[in-house]
Amino acid sequence: MSKIGLIIKREYLTRVKKKSFIIMTILGPVLIGGLYGVMFYMMLSSSDEITKIKFVDESGLFSDTLKRSGNLIFEKDTLPIQIAKHVYDPNVFAGILYVPQNIVEQPGSAVYYSAKQPGLATMENLETLLQKRVEDVKLNLMFSRMNVKDFDKNALKEIKTNIDIKTKLLTDKGEEESSTGVTSMIGFGGGLLMFIFTFLYGVQVMRGVIEEKTNRIVEVIISSVRPFQLMMGKIIGIALVGLTQFLLWIVLSAVITTVISGFAANKIDTKKLMHSSSMKQKMNLPQGNENFSLEAGKDQAGKSNPVGMIKTSLKSLPLPLIIFSFLFYFLGGYLFYASLFAAVGSAIDNETDTQQFMMPITIPLMLGYFAAIGMMSHPDSALGYWLSFVPFTSPIVMMVRIPFGVPAYELIISMALLVLGFIGTTWLASRIYRTGILMYGKKPSWKELGKWIFYKG
Amino acid sequence: MNILNIQHVSKTYAAHKALDDVSFDVPAGSVFGLLGPNGAGKTSLIRIINQITGPDSGSILFNSDKLNKDHVQQIGYLPEERGLYRKMEVGEQCLYLAQLKGMSRSDALKKLKVWFEKFEIKAWWKKKIDELSKGMQQKVQFIVTVLHEPKLLILDEPFTGFDPINANLIKDELLKMKANGTTIVLSTHRMESVEELCSHITLINKSKKILDGSVKQIRKQFKSNIYEVRYIGHPISLANGLWGGFELLESLPEDDHNYAKIKIPDDKQTNHLLQSLTSEVQVMGFNELAPSMNDIFIKIVSEQAPSQN
């Protein structure tokens, strides 16, 4: 086995065998599963309530069709939206659904105004409703334009519409954009995970370097291998630990959430079933009809089941792209930062001295994180756009943008810049590292670090 | 035949010149003492030989080839600051470090077993380094250094941290390796081990080489021509005999006889002195007061000291 292979193997095995790794691996999915469970619980409890919604329809598409859908009751309002917003009484109506004239051409133009953050279930319900109607209209338009013969798969694709209702909170101060969509949750979740992983494993690299330095074993090892091999071996070994943990999390989370979803779906079914069977008893239906009503109950449960709803909205997302980019940006972002963390570890003797040199690493990471929070409600902001190209922030920020759709060339530029970025930081860090690991005593100044970069081998 | 040729090696760190045009040869099969006070540049030189850092100028030949990465496997290095992974098991750690030196796992395992038996530490195999005492850790580290049977062994203060029994154990192993043709470079302050083991030395002070050669030759070079005489008779009778350039440095009574330190001038031999003495007093004992390496070391280093400022 090559020497760098040996180093990777050691770094990997010592960490994977640790108790803390095993605990984290089990605890992570349990926490994710728990969150998932809480989400369902909240949706279940809200989906039972009857919600009254004021409906301002400028498109004229819904004049007669929209009265009630599931738990949503609509009341049409002919006032212009600007006035409707002002006279809106949150005690009577949960919110105002505004459909502009050009909804067919611009499926993202619908807005939902409310005083409180609307639930996921409500929003999914509204979006499905609008979507069906817009698709109907498109279909009719198409039929009037062409013969049935020409109607093919391409035409069907054209009809397919993805309605995205913006949510705006009406507060005393005015309007605030908010987002409840699965899209932004997935995006932010990806960005957050990226932030946590980069930081967590970057710090592990730094600790490993400090450990070797304070143990003084580093001198023995670099008399056998080049400092660069030792640094890269450590970085790659820890990256593999991260990937292992990540994959285990995915597998375990999938198992846990499947169990929870199954349980939740089951609960809805029985709820609805009990409801229908009690009705049936009141109506004294003959026993022979029981089969039929069971079927009906199940069918009804399936339609308004939040699990199903999340699944459909997940389907509209480019999941393979998200997972691929997550892995790419995780590796890229980690490699970008890990070498910097290694350089910091090499420059100091103990962990209490890290503060000063950690700052320049922490600040861009935090910037990316805060940008990600901001972008949940403004996914198209200019700041987010530019930060998604800068390698310091792109791994976090781009993850937030991807679920909303990013042009391929932007993604490629961002990824290429990240690759260049980590080659650059690795080069820079390895220069500091090879000098730093042999320096003991006084904490170096920034100027000295700069000099180390230009030392001859 | 030299295993190492150090040729005009210089190395500067920031403002500090660690090595200034240092050249010397290490003969193959010798035990070579690399001497010098703290901060003289010994560790810098050792790091360059180990290719941990490179020289700013000058070159090093290993067995007449320019030093390169392939030589790493033929060198064993025990740094002054010992270190092992604290949380790693002894056996695993030895295997890991041996493999980094290019040994195969099975070969390393076989040789480790022999060493662990020889040092009677088989019971430690599964223990973590943290659980061992300092002296035990030193033993493990020594084994790791010599396991791949290097042609050149560089030991920085190898005997510190060992009790006398274990220090002897290590010394015996070193002599065995020397007998098998291993060249040993010993960097140390402990002059008694230099006297005991080294056949050649180099003395480095303030980044410069100031002395090198075989120990015999250096002793000769620093010969003081001072002799101790133990005799029966009156000190005045002794003094009477000392004419013609002999210099009496010291005269003392000692138990049932007297003692004197006498310097012989360059143009006279020991026999001349003996002839003059035996006619005056009864000589009981006579021997040369040879300078110890310690004396030579201190002499040279302190001679250089004033020029420092």
Q: Which amino acid is at A253?
A: S
Q: Which two tokens stand for residue B26?
A: 């290490």
What is the mean predicted confidence (pLDDT) over A330-351? Answer: 90
Residue with the bigger pLDDT between A410 and A271: it is A410
DSSP SS3 for A229 = helix
Nearest to B173 by CA among B115, B108, B109, B112: B115
Q: Which residues share a beta bridge with B5?
A: B25, B61
Query: pLDDT tens for residues A61-86?
Result: 776 666 777 778 888 887 888 888 88
Q: Does B144 contact A217 at a Cβ distance shorter than 8 Å?
A: no
Bridge partners, residue B185, by sequence: B32, B154
SS (H, E, C) chain B: CEEEEEEEEEEEECCEEEEEEEEEEEECCCEEEEECCCCCCHHHHHHHHCCCCCCCEEEEEECCEECCHHHHHHEEEECCCCCCCCCCEHHHHHHHHHHHCCCCHHHHHHHHHHHHHHCCCHHHCCCEHHHCCHHHHHHHHHHHHHCCCCCEEEEECCCCCCCHHHHHHHHHHHHHHHHCCCEEEEECCCHHHHHHHCCEEEEEECCEEEEEEEHHHHHHHCCCCEEEEEEECCHHHHHHHCCCCCEEEEEEEECCEEEEEEECCCCCCHHHHHHHHHCCCEEEEEEECCCCHHHHHHHHHHHHHHHHC
Contacts of A222 in chain B (CB under 8 A): 52
Residue found by looking up tokens 């220069």 in the block: A431
Residue type, B120: E
Lowest mean pLDDT: which of A187-191, A307-311, A384-388, B224-228? A307-311
Strand order in the sheet with B65-66: B16-27, B2-13, B57-62, B65-66
Question: Does the beta carbon of B110 lie under 8 angstroms from any beta carbon of chain A?
Answer: no
> What is the C-alpha to C-alpha distance for residues A110 and A102, in angstroms, rounded to an integer?
9
From CA A23, how far away is CA A25, in angstroms rounded? Answer: 5
Closest CA to A252 of A10, A23, A33, A12: A33
Paired residues of B263 in beta bridges: B226, B247
| Amino acid identity, position A35 | L
Q: Count A/B contacts: CB-CB distance under 8 Å.
A: 63
Q: Per the CB < 8 Å rule, is B83 touching A6? A: no
* Cβ under 8 Å to B: A residues 409-438: 438
User: Does the beta-carbon distance from A457 to B54 stay under 8 Å?
Assistant: yes
Provide CB contacts within 8 A for A269, sequence distance 6+: A297, A298, A301
Residue A226 has pLDDT above 70, yes or no: yes
Tell whether the model's pLDDT for residue A2 goes beyond 70: yes
Higher pLDDT, B157 or A417: A417
CA A211 from chain centre, in angstroms, equals 35
Distance from CA of B73 to the nearest CA of A (A): 7
The string of pLDDT tens digits covering residues A24-55 is 888 888 887 777 677 666 655 555 567 788 88
Judge whether A97 and A126 are in contact, CB under 8 Å: yes
Instruction: Please state whether beta strands B31-35 and B183-187 pair in parallel, antiparallel, or not at all (unpaired).
Output: parallel
Residue of chain A whose Cα is closest to the Cα of B46: A223
A293 and A280 in contact (C-beta within 8 Å)?
Answer: yes
For residues B56 and A122, the model is more confident at B56
What are the tens digits of pLDDT across the range A227-279? 999 999 999 999 999 889 888 888 887 887 778 777 766 665 555 555 554 54
Residue A414 tokens read as 């961002």
Give burial (CB, 10 Å; 0-12/13-18/19+) of A244. middle
Cβ–Cβ gap B81/A219 under 8 Å: yes
Q: Is B72 on the interface with A (CB under 8 A)?
A: yes
Per residue in A149-191, pLDDT (tens digit) is 666 667 777 777 777 787 777 777 667 665 556 667 777 888 8
Q: How many helices (H) and strands (E) does chain A have?
A: 16, 7
B91/chain A closest Cα distance in angstroms: 13
CA dist list (Å): A180 to A165, A167, A177, B161: 10, 8, 10, 66
Cβ-defined contact of B75 to A218 (cutoff 8 Å): no
What gap in Å lies between CA B117 and CA B101, rounded to an integer? Answer: 22
Q: What is the pLDDT of residue A300?
A: 41
pLDDT at residue number A188? 80
Q: What's the mean pLDDT when you consider all of chain A? A: 79
What's the rounded Cα separation, in Å, for the pair B41 and B178? 26
- B87 interfacial to chain A (CB closer than 8 Å): yes
Instruction: Pull the structure tokens for residue A212.
Output: 């070797």
What's the pLDDT at B33?
Answer: 92
CB A206 within 8 A of CB A344: yes
Q: Which chain B residues are closer than 8 Å to A226 by Cβ?
A: 69
Greater confidence (A190 vs A379) lies with A190
Is residue A217 within 8 angstroms of chain B, CB to CB? yes
The DSSP 8-state label assigned to residue A172 in this structure reads T
Question: At residue A294, does pLDDT exceed 50?
Answer: no
Cβ pair A216:B81 closer than 8 A:
yes
Give the pLDDT confidence score for residue B155 in this predicted structure.
93
B201 to chain A, closest Cα gap in Å: 23
Provide block-wise average pLDDT over 10 residues at a time, chain B (309 residues). Answer: 91 84 92 88 90 89 90 91 89 94 93 92 91 89 93 90 87 92 89 85 89 86 86 86 82 87 86 86 87 82 65
d(CA A344, CA A203) in angstroms, rounded, equals 10
- Region of residue B120 (phi > 0: left; psi between -120 and 50: alpha; otherwise: beta): left
